[in-house]
Amino acid sequence: QQLQLAKAKVQEQTPVFSIIQGATVPLKPSSMPRSFLVIIYMFVGVLADAAWILYLRDIVKSKITKRKAPYVLLIILFGVLAIYYHNTEDSSSKRTIRIVCALILIFFFGFRGYICDDWIAYYPAFQKCSPEYINFNPFEYNIKWAFEPGFTILMCLCKSIVDDFQFFSFVCTVINTFLLFRFFNKRIDNLPLGIILYLCFGGYIMNTNLMRNSIAILIFINALEYIEKRKPLQYFSLCLLALSFH
């Protein structure tokens, strides 16, 4: 009888259920997030398309060329950085990835050498470039010099520092990279992914074969924010600066 009373007392004092761990709001998804899957599929699609256009199509046609392999490897490299950038939450790691992306672009396009055909026109122009060709009058055309004043000033300045066309190409690449990153940093989070899309949708041509055009275009897209801020003076000033290049 005492045993039964003791069991009843224990049962009376013991709760029906006990809370082992309190309910908490989850901070991370228990499975792979859908945004990450979208990035992976987008990267695989862009990579497959770039590989086909730049490399695999030539294999199918039995016209394999090794000159296009570096461009495919560049896309793969930025793809790896894009996946790592998406998975990390450390701000210092993201900042490091941004710096690495900038250095990769500057190294890859800044030391590209004589590729495509834009240099055919700019190389002899660089050799004979002189401050006397700087002309801010849009109604006066110099038959000896067909380039805009902003581009001419940049070319003369680079030539006065280092009389080498490769140095001029390097400076143009640095300017393009700065303007591109300034535009991306204010509009997208995953910078490597943005660079992949930029390269696959005309960025290769802009950085190799459109020296004047690329600077003018990138200056213009950086001016668009001043329309949103309702600052017409800054907007039109940058548009005039872009116009002085192309």
What DSSP string describes 201-219?
Answer: IIIHHHHHH-HHHHHHHHH
Q: What is the pLDDT of residue 119?
A: 84
CA nearest 210: which of 245, 174, 163? 245
Residue 219: pLDDT over 70:
yes
Q: Reduced to 3 states, what is the DSSP secondary structure of residue 156?
A: helix
Amino acid type, 223: A
The answer, as to whether pTM is greater than 0.75, is no
Give pLDDT tens digits for 152-170. 889 989 998 999 999 999 9
Q: What is the pLDDT of residue 33?
A: 67
Give pLDDT tens digits for 86-136. 888 888 989 999 999 999 999 999 988 888 888 888 888 888 888 777 766
Q: Tokens 């497959």 label which residue?
A: 48
What tokens were used for 168? 């001029």
Percent of the chain with pLDDT over 70: 73
Mean pLDDT in residue range 26-41:
68
* Contact (CB, 8 A) for 149 and 135: yes
Q: What is the pLDDT of residue 64?
A: 44
Task: Assign residue 130 a region (left: φ > 0; alpha: ψ between -120 and 50; beta: otherwise).
Answer: beta
Q: Tokens 């004047």 label which residue?
A: 212
Mean pLDDT in residue range 59-83:
73
CA distances from 109 to 65, 115, 174, 225, 244 (A): 19, 10, 9, 27, 23
Residue 187: pLDDT over 60:
yes
Q: What is the pLDDT of residue 214?
A: 92
How far is Cα 240 from Cα 246, in angstroms, rounded to an integer? Answer: 10
What does the radius of gyration of the chain's CA atoms come to, in whole angstroms?
A: 29
Q: What is the pLDDT of residue 112?
A: 85
